[in-house]
């Protein structure tokens, strides 16, 4: 018996009314036959002609681009970037929306995820429903904040630098990225060819003049001589082990936050928006209100941003334990926090290291997990430690909402939630939730 070939619907076009925004930078629409479309480059309430980019007859939903706007939203503007639009660069999701509308859309996504995955209304989460722009980012429509201090360029087979198209390995060659920070743009990466390279990550530190590029060669390719428009350190990703190794210059950049310098080595994690580290640190500290002498945990601690802020405020009698899986990040965290004798940094996965510490009670917890969230087992462990307050920093509203549901099962409620637009023009948003134990009736 032969299998009937599945018919691709890529290229098919539908005229649709665009419905609500969904998590992921698109809106939901339905064809006259009831088939669900996830439509990019559209806005709620518009009527558009949508062309399918992914999907087959048997697919639960289709992905599509709005290729013609038949009835436009009042929130629509012409995309400032010439590389934004159907079939072009996938780096931005909302170039076609006014800045205020972008933040409203992100707020709607957070509210929908909280309701669907945690059963919480904004009021129950202590959230006023707003997404706050970073300092200096409130610009008129048509102007774009230059916020991305770390840009991952892809390189095509001819050596031209660009950015990936949406859900594709294809490279959109660009001569300038509008959301790149000035320190990245001034390197001039797009102006030269990069023969033999697969990708280039450019980093412009906040609070120092440190600039760094990390080159990933194609298999068997030799590293080029790097001559850019500004002084820069060069690192390379090794083909054999995937490790990052210094070619010349410093193997780290120096970042500033909370009036302290943090060393971040080998392209390690640091918040991308220049205002993000301070914005999130302040939100966490305002929510936790650390007291002298308390014991705190900083989970997924990276190079020690929150651990340092906590140690500073807990004083000589306080103590902080940080846990981080990345070996180089742990080395950096220990270096960055060497002036705090009562800070300890352990290397390993949180779910493995935390049970081995023997810690049974703490006063404060900060967790800043990766995009997938902390997960049920880790949250269950944390709710048994009796912390008076927990700060959860989240870059993904779906993972945050799932974990908030687990915290509720463990006897914690959300005291406050704040949302920050630290990724303008994209669908990404950062949240800080402050949790506390539910008071038991006497």
pLDDT at 441: 54
Count of positions (residues) in the chain: 442
- Using 50, 70 and 90 to split pLDDT, how confident is the model at 143? confident
pLDDT at 275: 97
340-351 pLDDT per residue, tens: 999 999 999 999
pLDDT at 362: 98
224-280 pLDDT per residue, tens: 989 899 999 999 999 877 889 999 999 999 999 999 999 999 989 999 999 999 999
343-347 and 364-367: which strand pairing? unpaired
pLDDT at 363: 98
156-185 pLDDT per residue, tens: 999 999 999 999 999 999 999 999 999 999
Q: Tell me which of 27, 81, 395, 431 is the catalytic residue.
A: 395
Res 439 pLDDT > 90: no
Distance CA 307, CA 302 (A): 9
45-58 pLDDT per residue, tens: 999 999 999 999 99
Predicted TM-score (pTM) of the model is 0.95
pLDDT at 48: 98
Helices 276-288 and 305-314 cross at an angle (nearest 10°) of: 40
Residue 431 among the catalytic residues: no
Tell me how far apart the terminal alpha carbons of the chain are, to the nearest angstrom: 69
274-288 pLDDT per residue, tens: 999 999 999 999 999
pLDDT, average across residues 354-366: 96
Structure tokens that stand for 86 in this block: 């159907």
Nearest alpha-carbon partner for 396 in 113, 164, 167: 113
36-40 and 260-265: which strand pairing? unpaired
Res 154 pLDDT > 70: yes
Res 146 pLDDT > 60: yes
DSSP notation for 265-287: ETT----SSTTHHHHHHHHHHHH
Structure tokens that stand for 284 in this block: 């966490």
pLDDT at 239: 82
Distance CA 150, CA 302 (A): 16
pLDDT at 3: 61
- C-alpha distances in Å from residue 160, one per residue of 195, 197, 236: 8, 9, 18
């Amino acid at each position: 018996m032969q299998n009937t070939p599945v018919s691709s619907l890529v290229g098919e076009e539908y005229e649709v009314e665009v419905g609500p925004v969904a998590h992921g930078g698109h809106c939901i629409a339905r064809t006259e036959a009831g088939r669900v479309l996830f439509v990019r480059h559209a806005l709620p309430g518009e009527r558009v002609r949508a062309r399918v980019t992914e999907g087959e007859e048997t697919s639960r939903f289709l992905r599509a681009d709005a290729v013609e706007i038949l009835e436009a939203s009042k929130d629509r503007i012409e995309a400032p970037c010439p590389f934004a639009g159907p079939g072009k660069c996938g780096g931005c999701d909302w170039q076609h929306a006014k800045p205020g509308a972008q933040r409203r859309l992100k707020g709607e996504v957070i509210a929908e995820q909280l309701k669907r995955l945690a059963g919480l209304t904004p009021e129950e989460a202590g959230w006023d429903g707003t997404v706050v722009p970073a300092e200096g980012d409130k610009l008129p429509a048509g102007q774009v904040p230059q916020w991305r201090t770390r840009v991952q360029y892809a390189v095509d087979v001819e050596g031209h630098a660009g950015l990936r198209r949406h859900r594709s390995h294809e490279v959109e060659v660009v001569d300038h990225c509008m959301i790149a920070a000035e320190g990245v743009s001034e390197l001039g990466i797009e102006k030269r060819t990069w023969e033999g390279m697969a990708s280039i990550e450019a980093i412009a530190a906040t609070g120092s003049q440190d600039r760094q590029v990390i080159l990933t060669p194609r298999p068997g390719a030799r590293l080029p001589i790097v001559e850019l428009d500004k002084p820069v350190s060069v690192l390379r990703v090794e083909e054999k082990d995937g490790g990052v190794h210094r070619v010349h210059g410093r193997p780290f950049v120096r970042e500033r936050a909370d009036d302290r310098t943090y060393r971040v080595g080998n392209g390690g994690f640091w918040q991308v928006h220049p205002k993000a580290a301070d914005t999130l640190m302040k939100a966490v500290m305002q929510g936790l209100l650390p007291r002298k002498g308390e014991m705190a945990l900083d989970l997924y601690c990276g190079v020690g941003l929150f651990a340092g802020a906590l140690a500073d405020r807990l004083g000589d009698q306080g103590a902080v334990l940080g846990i981080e899986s990345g070996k180089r990040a742990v080395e950096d965290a220990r270096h960055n926090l060497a002036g705090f004798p009562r800070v300890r940094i352990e290397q390993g996965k949180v779910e493995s290291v935390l049970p081995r510490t023997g810690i049974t009670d703490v006063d404060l917890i900060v967790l800043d997990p990766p995009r997938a969230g902390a997960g049920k087992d880790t949250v269950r462990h944390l709710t048994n430690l009796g912390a008076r307050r927990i700060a959860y920093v989240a870059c993904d509203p779906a993972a945050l909402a799932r974990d908030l549901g687990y915290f509720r099962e463990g006897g914690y409620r959300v005291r406050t939630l704040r949302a920050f637009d630290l990724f303008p023009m994209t669908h990404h948003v950062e949240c800080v939730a402050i949790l506390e134990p539910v008071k038991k009736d006497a």
